[in-house]
Every structure is written in C-alpha cells, then in structure tokens.
Amino acid sequence: MILFWPAPLDFFRDIVELAHRYDFVIAHDLAYSEVSYDGYRAPSIFQVEGAREVAIEFHSLSKTFNMTGWRIGFAVGNEKLVEALGRMKTNIDSGIFNAIQWAGTEALSHVDEVLRTILPIYTRRRNVVVNAFRSLGFDLPFPQASFYIWIPVPEGYTALGFAGYLLDQAGVVVTPGIGFGRYGEGYVRISITTADDQLGQAMERIQDTLRGGQT
C-alpha cells in the first residue's frame, strides 16, 4: 500500500545531492508547511546542506490563511533563481492588487494566532474522516499534514470507478486520485475544508452506503 506521507529530510538530502551531480534546479512547493498535526512540522528543503545552491521554495497564503483565489505567495532560495523568477513575473503580470498585499502582510503578522484557530478545526475534521473509514475496515493512517485525506479504493474498483460509485450511491463527491497522475490510481481524495456538519453528513452517507454491502 502506497502512503501519501510528507517527504522526510532524507528525501531532500538525496534530491539535493542529485541536483548537484546532474546540474538541475529543484522547485519545492511548500504551500502546506504550517498545516500539520500532532506536533509534526514539515521540513524545508533548506534544512539540507547544499540546498541553497540548487533550490527555490514556494509558499502560498492560500492554504494557511484561507486566501484561496487571491493568488498571493512568495518564493525563497537561490539568489539567481529568485532573480530569474522576478524577471519572468515582470513579463507575465504587473503585480498584485495593493489591498491583497496589505491583507497578506496582516496575515503573516498574526500567523501564530491563525494557526491556534485553524489547526484544531482541521485536526477534528481529519479525525472524523479517518475514523469513519477505519470503522469500515479501511487501513488508513492519520495524515500528519495538509487538509486532504487519501483513501485507498476497495478491491475491484479504480479511482474513477469508486468516486463515481460514491457520487451515485451516497451523493458524496470525492476526487479520483488518477487526476493527479498515475501514482494516484487506487485512491480517492477527500478535502476537510468543508464545514463540520456537512463533512459529518458525508461520512454518515458513505458509511451507510458501504455497510449496505452494495460495493
């Protein structure tokens, strides 16, 4: 069983070594860096020696601060890479609306307060989803980070087939993993950004459907 789990520092050490050996750039998406649970903190690639010479790391305010659609974030890392990104950006757009930049500044100034509010909510919702599927016999760990749960599909189903089954029989929309590439086959993804009552209702519908033996 493949587990969708945060990349450990050893993974970053290996890829940094490869980047130095074969002269390529690492673009690390760390958008979910602050959305983590049970004391876990997602590592930055820059914790690895030598990463500053070959890597650039991207962050987004969309996830931590619920600013999805505002399209604001930042990049850090190798000076030449950041400078090249800046030159490219000046030829693509003309900057972010000032009010969004001010909102981003305010958000980053209160990150600890925001995390104290949102992390208990996501933790509670994560537990609702994982416990619901565990009660159905699914071998499902508690994710350490992000606000998605990856569910292995039952035997005999594809990701698309199981997503369609849950939509037709339970009236619940989940995302087939194949949409994220071939390694997503065999899984569906559930978001825990939905309100508690709706998420709870969705889990009850799924439990009732799967316990009914219709699969």
CA geometry: angle 209, 213, 215, nearest 5 deg: 80
* Structure-token pair, residue 41: 């903190």
**Bridge pairing between strands 55-60 and 26-29:** parallel
Model confidence, pTM: 0.88
How far from 215 is each of 13, 150, 154, 184, CA to CA, in Å? 43, 19, 8, 21
pLDDT at position 1 over 50: no
The CA distance from 186 to 19, in Å, is 31
pLDDT digits (tens, 9 = 90+) for 95-138: 889 999 999 999 999 999 999 999 999 999 999 999 999 999 99
The total number of residues written for the chain in this structure: 215
pLDDT digits (tens, 9 = 90+) for 165-210: 999 999 999 999 999 999 999 999 999 999 999 999 999 999 999 9
| Structural domains for the chain | 9-109 (3.40.640.10), 113-211 (3.90.1150.10)
